[in-house]
Amino acid sequence: MILYTFLLIRTKKVLSIAPIQALHNTADHGIGSRSKLRKNTLLIDLAVREIFSGWKKYISVVIISAILVLFLSVVGKMGTWLGSNGEGMMNSFSVAEHDLGVQPFNNLVPVDEIERVIDWYSPIEDTYELAMESVTINGHEYTANVLDDTEWFHVIEGNVCDGNSILITDTVASEQNIAIGDSVAIAAGGRMESYSVSGIYQCANGMGSNIGMSKAGYSKIGDITGYIWCKHYILQDGSVREYAMKYLQEQYQGIDVHTNSWSGLTGIVQVMHLLMLVLYLISAIFILVATVLITSKLIQSETENMAIYRSMGLSTEKIRISFALRFVLLTIIGVMIGLFISQIIGDRMIGQVFQMFGIGEFSSTFSVLGIIVPGIIVPVIFFLFAWLFSCRIAKISIINLMES
């Protein structure tokens, strides 16, 4: 009894030795080889163990996943901004948001009746009037977007304009070398007046070559009594705007009716959606190539370990799942890095591209396409390819351990 107790005390350290250490000398494999193996989380523990024991082999997985998630996140943000029907683009190109616009060309147009028709399709929430007139600044011609209610302008810096001031886009500010607070001379119809620049606003019409004015401001140089005004309607249910437009076009003469859209918008939306699909396919190809190369090297270098796992009673399927889980754990790190970088520089990257099209500012919000989808898709694809190309593990048996 005394001898038994003595042996029990002296050999208690054996209880802390992981099964893999008892079967294979992994003392030089680093901290991962000393990690504990738990029954309930055995597959994940094995995955973590191998990652720590040879972490340098997996750096490329983290880098590739981070880069792919970054670009997929940026494209996802653009897709969310664009909207399912191109609403984001039209709001950036338009002077102000609206669902329906009606411009009469003579006094025979029954405006009150037209508004009752529109209200029948959907209650009208708000209205404002817009005129788009040609003006010149320092000899250069621009479109003046004139609103009777300047609060509808998309001001991104400074203040809205009044009767003595104007708004300019980033494009105009760059072309004319002017800034907020400067004074400019604007001419139209043979008359010229001086206005101060009160702010920068967003409108990509004419690739940004336009300015914003109030009705009172434009009246100093242009005629505001003609049929230059287009009345814009914001509806409670914007989905009926196409039906209302079609009906008004068929039933009334002497008017121009439009929605916050244009003929080429559908094509742009389709191209954007196709681009997102193509990028995901390209990403899948990158993941495929990387997984094939990494998987081949890992299985070749870990044949003995795989044989040991088999000798421990693990089935081939469980070993393959544990093998693929390594890639999931690593890509999760890459996903976090990619999304973090996207949050920091993503909007700036998109904004630099959009500036070429007259869109002065881009700001994204939380989006499924920009965060959730790439954060899930990339790890899943890595897992599937890693599991698929780990089929060679089935050929490994305990005989390999005896031969080593």
For 14-61, how does the pLDDT look when each residue is reduced to its tens digit (9 = 90+)?
455 544 454 444 444 444 444 566 656 677 777 787 788 777 888 888
What local confidence, expressed as pLDDT, does residue 130 receive?
94
What local confidence, expressed as pLDDT, does residue 46 receive?
77
What local confidence, expressed as pLDDT, does residue 348 receive?
80
What local confidence, expressed as pLDDT, does residue 3 receive?
52
What local confidence, expressed as pLDDT, does residue 29 receive?
45
What local confidence, expressed as pLDDT, does residue 320 receive?
85
What local confidence, expressed as pLDDT, does residue 270 receive?
76
Under-50 pLDDT residues of the chain: 14, 18-20, 22-34, 400-404
What local confidence, expressed as pLDDT, does residue 401 receive?
45
What local confidence, expressed as pLDDT, does residue 358 receive?
60
Listed residue (166, 115, 118, 112) closest to 142, CA to CA: 166
What local confidence, expressed as pLDDT, does residue 245 receive?
92
